[in-house]
Structure 1
């Protein structure tokens, strides 16, 4: 019987999160504990890439982490970002997040519709004269670079942050007693195996979001009990709810 589920993400800020409905409807305890955390590069590390933020007229943001670390680095290096800098974001949510650092003006903030870089490309092409900087994580593929090359846009990718293990304290490790674990990234699986090298799955269920995460679970030698997204359940909360209904 599933009584306690560990969700390897930060606790939702909204009380209306479907996770809280699941806890209430099924009488389960949800523990929100990320296995990984994002760490920004230091100015010294960033300078090793020999990139100057002021050489670019536009920045492409694929996540809020990218925004945080771009502006944090600028502040630490005492660089004033020009007022006319343009920002291209993969979603409207990410675009709105820029307000944390600069005044939001539609004429200089643009966003895509799908959450993927593809939907942003047509807008970027309309601004063909811009010099684009693309801040990325230390773990990334070359998809963005290839897409921008194909459109003959002037661009440069750079690493601004990395994902590291959010290690458990000795006390946390001792009191670890969940019936189900929910993972959202391969790096989360890696961090889990680092923190619990002697973990034996037994009756503990494992759920994953995304094909790469699912593969990381089976590659680590664990049994995968629930995989999302699917056509029927595009969200983890929907898949989890359905699983609990059928596995009481």
Structure 2
């Protein structure tokens, strides 16, 4: 019987989270602990890429992390961004988040309509004379560079932050009946935290095909997978699984 579930994400801030509803309905206990965390590169590490921020006339942000780490790095390196610097966000939410660091009305800020790269690239293509800088994580593919090349846009990709293992507290028990994972990095972190991990009767739940593949490549068993046509979210999948395995 499943009573204790570890979710490898931050604890929800809203009391209306489906996790809390499931806990009350199914009488289970959720513990939240991200197995991974994101940290920014130091100025010294960034300089090793030999990229000059001020050689660019526009910055492209793919996430709030990229916004935070970009402006933090600029401050650390004492880079004074010009008033006419343009900013492009993958979504409107990211574009609005830029206001945390710059006065929105005095800057030129653009964003895609759907939160997907093809739409943002279409917007960027209307500004063909810009020289774009794209801050990325240490884990990324070449899809972005390929799309920008197809539009003949001048651009440079750079690494400004990375995903690292978030240690599980050594003073806390790890006696969960189910562990919920969301990324291959989370699978890797689980095994780094617990090198002698034996699955046994523990259920492993995961979101996404690449995470499932990472679990199986590690020689572990995936007991619950989402999304599916019946359960589009991880919480829906968990609720369905608990209902079927009482």
TM range (shorter): over 0.9
Structure 1 ranges of 4+ moved more than 3 A: none
| 1:143 paired residue number | 143
> Relative to 1, partners in 2 of residues 1:184 and 1:106: Cα closer, same or farther, differing over 3 Å?
farther
| 1:179 paired residue number | 177
> Relative to 1, partners in 2 of residues 1:110 and 1:22: Cα closer, same or farther, differing over 3 Å?
farther
Instruction: Count the aligned residue pairs.
Output: 246
Among 209, 223, 226, which residue is 2:224 paired with? Answer: 226
Q: Give 1:4-23 correspondences, 5 Å limit.
A: 4-23=4-23
> Relative to 1, partners in 2 of residues 1:141 and 1:106: Cα closer, same or farther, differing over 3 Å?
farther
| 1:34 paired residue number | 34
> Relative to 1, partners in 2 of residues 1:110 and 1:242: Cα closer, same or farther, differing over 3 Å?
farther
Query: What is the CA-CA distance between 1:106 and the residue it aligns to?
Result: 9.6
| 1:240 paired residue number | 238
Query: What is the CA-CA distance between 1:21 and the residue it aligns to?
Result: 1.6
Gaps of 5+ in 2: none
In the aligned structure 2, how far is the partner of 1:104 from the partner of 1:238?
Answer: 38
In the aligned structure 2, how far is the partner of 1:206 from the partner of 1:105?
Answer: 48
> Relative to 1, partners in 2 of residues 1:26 and 1:191: Cα closer, same or farther, differing over 3 Å?
same
Query: What is the CA-CA distance between 1:115 and the residue it aligns to?
Result: 3.0
Could you tell which deviates more after superposition, 227-236 or 149-158?
227-236
Deviation string 1:61-87 (CA, Å, 9 cap, x unpaired) is 111111111010001011122233222
Three-state SS of the structure 2 residue aligned to 1:171 is coil
Q: Give 1:49-88 correspondences, 5 Å limit.
A: 49-88=49-88
Query: What is the CA-CA distance between 1:121 and the residue it aligns to?
Result: 1.2
| 2:209 paired residue number | 211
Could you tell which deviates more after superposition, 160-169 or 150-159?
160-169
TM-score normalised over the length of structure 1: 0.94
Query: What is the CA-CA distance between 1:113 and the residue it aligns to?
Result: 3.5
Gaps of 5+ in 1: none
Q: Give 1:69-148 correspondences, 5 Å limit.
A: 69-105=69-105, 108-148=108-148
TM-score normalised over the length of structure 2: 0.94
Deviation string 1:100-141 (CA, Å, 9 cap, x unpaired) is 212234972222243321121111111111111110111111
